[in-house]
Amino acid sequence: MLLLTCPHCGVSAEETEFHPGGEAHLKRFGPGASDDAFAGYMFERANPRGVHFERWRHVFGCGKWFHLARCTASLEVFGAYPADVTAPPEEILAKIRARRPGWEPAPAAKPAAKPEGDA
Amino acid sequence: MARYSVFALARNALSHHQDWQRAWASPEPKAEYDVIVIGGGGHGLATAYYLAKNHGVRKVAVLEKGWLGGGNTGRNTTIIRSNYLRDPSAKIYELARGLYETLSQEFNFNIMFSPRGVLMLAQTEHEKRAYERTAHANRAQGIETEMVDPARCAEIVPILNIDGPRYPVLGGLWQARAGTARHDAVAWGYARGASEMGVDIIQNCEVTGIDRDADGVTGVRTTRGAIRTKKLCIVVAGHSGVLAEMAGFRLPVESVALQALVSEPIKPVIDCVVMANTVHGYLSQSDKGELVIGGGADGFNNYTQRGSFQHVEETVRALVETFPVISRLRMLRQWGGIVDMTGDRSPIIGPTPVPGIWINCGWGTGGFKAIPGSGWATASMLANGADPIAGPFGMERFREGRMIDESVAAAVAH
Ligand SMILES: Cc1cc2nc3c(=O)[nH]c(=O)nc-3n(C[C@H](O)[C@H](O)[C@H](O)COP(=O)(O)OP(=O)(O)OC[C@H]3O[C@@H](n4cnc5c(N)ncnc54)[C@H](O)[C@@H]3O)c2cc1C
Ligand SMILES: [Zn+2]
């Protein structure tokens, strides 16, 4: 049972009060992007054994979405951060590095063709 | 390898069972193989077995990081059925179910296949319609299933409460030839058979890296040294993402925990398998008398083979309404496995972006039943470059919008 703290309302509660929403920071490429870029966004997932950035929603609380950095191998939670960012903030990365010396975030998945715009 | 028989049993009794041979050989890894299969679960072992048996490809190694069947193959609730909805699924699951019927004889090793029947309960109007549709589809596919009414459900399973307050039983999808088998024995039987034909089964051998050059795969690095090959098949279920990362590509797969539990042993109360998918619980009774209970999967990415309290509670609470007689049973053990989920709840069998690397994964919560058919088709694909049964399951189906949607028939809560 995970114990999570919602970064919006500050409530700490058991996992059952929240709902997981899958891998975070997936980038959706807009019109003109290649099929590869779109398939990557739609279907392909990092699914790492270790540090994972993911989306959660405080469904039975304030209802808001947020981000979480968590280890899928130990279930350790490194920290939660707001939903409106496209990459984990420096302070979360610092927390992870402190617990996992040598760990570095994987480079963002690159689309196969140059995207024309973002949407 | 010596055959098992009643005479062997008698002979070995005279020597106090001290002289039984090992069931399969345990060789050192060679420098090179024609085909390397990563993963000694049912699917990897069956692939190696049929490569040798059906295609004469014998320079094959199965590399397993732990022990055979230590992954999901030895952690599942052993339900075998083929009443899926889509035609590609019908082909592979029915091939598997049919092969299960004679595996014990083929292996000279008892896998305890027990075609005791599987009843899938319809407990909402929507579910009933979905199963009616499946029954029609199965008829067209030549798979024997039938839709039965609540009274017949109660006849098949006397301990069933058909008029529960929340989820009354409105009918059921019954497959009489479905059933269970002993999970470890399936892995061991394939290992024994493959080993007899010259396949190297190598345990305690974790693949830690994949080597490739411009033309494709050249070999693997393992905890027991580097091994060369030009043909690699990844069959590691929940660890597919880890191996894909080593090879340098991503998969449309996510790993989550699925758990099961068993009760204390009791006298026989149920002689088939019942699945109650609306309430996320399913039930059968083992030969030892324990009730074997499976529930829903966790929703978040997870590599800890544990499971969670709230799912145990959810599953048991739901089952108690449908099977009131079990309300005072104590639960003995609980465990989890890491299942590899795809978006359409169908497996992936096919080539990968790296030439020479093939993959068989994505069986998620329901791949035990498919082991023989999957191994059969994967071996043929590896030997011939393509296979008609495996074909539709290539991962390009996602980008092509050719999903094989089994989210209803896959049956376990997701
Ligand atoms: C609780 C539970 C209940 C289930 N119930 C059912 C059911 O009733 N019916 C049904 O049909 N299915 C069921 N399933 C699903 C079924 O168990 C799986 O789909 C099936 O066993 C997958 O087999 P596999 O051979 O692909 O994987 P596994 O049996 O998991 O084998 C993969 C192997 O790869 C090895 N491996 C991983 N990484 C490496 C590496 N780097 N190097 C070397 N080896 C490695 C692992 O150690 C493992 O032994 C259930 C699963 C669970 C967890
Ligand atoms: Zn909140």
Q: How far apart are CA B106 and CA A93, in angstroms?
A: 55
Mean pLDDT by 10 residues, chain B (414 residues): 90 94 94 98 98 98 97 97 96 98 97 97 94 97 97 96 91 97 98 97 98 96 98 98 96 96 96 90 94 89 90 88 92 95 96 98 97 98 98 96 83 46
Residue A45 touches partner B, C-beta closer than 8 Å: yes
Amino acid, res. B132: E
Binary contact (B241, A49; C-beta < 8 A) = yes
Whether B281 and B287 have beta carbons less than 8 Å apart is answered as no
Task: Give the start-to-end residue ranges of the domains of chain B.
Answer: 27-78+85-91+183-252+344-400, 116-178+254-342
Q: How far apart are CA B159 and CA B36, in angstroms?
A: 48
Q: How far apart are CA B124 and CA B130, in angstroms?
A: 10
Q: How far apart are CA B404 and CA B414, in angstroms?
A: 16
Residue A10 touches partner B, C-beta closer than 8 Å: no
What's the Cα-to-Cα distance from B88 to each of A105, B244, B325, B383, B394, rounded to whole Å? 39, 25, 39, 21, 12
pLDDT in tens, A8-32: 999 999 999 999 999 999 988 888 9
Whether B81 and B118 have beta carbons less than 8 Å apart is answered as yes
Q: At CA B395, angle to CA B143 and CA A50, rounded to 5? A: 115
Binary contact (B300, A54; C-beta < 8 A) = yes
Q: How far apart are CA B139 and CA B243, in angstroms?
A: 39
Query: Which phi and psi angles does B383 have, rounded to 5°?
Result: -75, -40
pTM for the full predicted model: 0.95
Whether B340 and B387 have beta carbons less than 8 Å apart is answered as no
Q: Considering only the top CATH level, what class is B27-78+85-91+183-252+344-400?
A: alpha beta
Whether B305 and B75 have beta carbons less than 8 Å apart is answered as yes
Task: Give the start-to-end residue ranges of the domains of chain A.
Answer: 3-109
Pairing state between β B291-297 and B171-175: unpaired
**At residue A68, does pLDDT exceed 90?**
yes
The predicted pLDDT at position B410 comes to 59
The predicted pLDDT at position A110 comes to 47
The predicted pLDDT at position A108 comes to 60
Q: Which helix (DSSP H) or strand (DSSP E) does residue B338 occupy?
A: strand B331-342
B116-178+254-342 in CATH: which number? 3.30.9.10
How many Cα atoms within 13 Å fall on the side-chain side of residue B147? 17
Bridge partners for B233 per DSSP: B37, B358
Which residue in the block uniquely carries the two structure tokens 């709230």?
A: B310
Which of B242, B308, B343 is nearest residue A43 as measured by Cβ atoms?
A: B343
Whether A92 and A79 have beta carbons less than 8 Å apart is answered as yes
The predicted pLDDT at position B277 comes to 86
Whether A111 and A118 have beta carbons less than 8 Å apart is answered as no
- Closest residue, chain A, to B353 (C-alpha): A36
Which residue in the block uniquely carries the two structure tokens 């809560």?
A: B413
User: Residue B238 Cα, ligand 1 centroid: separation in angstroms?
Assistant: 7
In the DSSP assignment, the letter for residue B221 is E
Which of B242, B252, B309 is nearest residue A45 as measured by Cβ atoms?
A: B252
In the DSSP assignment, the letter for residue B330 is P
A3-109 in CATH: which number? 3.30.2270.10
DSSP per-residue string spanning A55-88: EEE-TTTT--EEEEEEETTT--EEEEEESS-SS-
Please list every residue in chain A whose beta carbon sits closer than 8 Å to the beta carbon of residue B255.
Answer: 47, 49, 72
Query: Does ligand 1 have an atom closer than 6 angstroms to the CB of B236?
Result: yes
DSSP per-residue string spanning B356-382: TEEEEE--TT--GGGHHHHHHHHHHHH
Contacts of A102 (CB under 8 A, 6+ apart): none
Mean pLDDT of A30-41: 90
- Closest residue, chain A, to B314 (C-alpha): A16
How far does the CA of residue B310 sit from the closest CA of chain A (Å)? 8
The predicted pLDDT at position A80 comes to 97
User: Residue A14 Cα, ligand 2 centroid: separation in angstroms?
Assistant: 12
Torsion on CA atoms B387, B390, B396, B397, rounded to nearest 10: 130
Please list every residue in chain B whose beta carbon sits closer than 8 Å to the beta carbon of residue A42.
Answer: 398-399
Query: Does ligand 1 have an atom closer than 6 angstroms to the CB of B183?
Result: no
The predicted pLDDT at position B82 comes to 97
For residue A119, name the pLDDT band (cuts at 50, 70, 90): very low
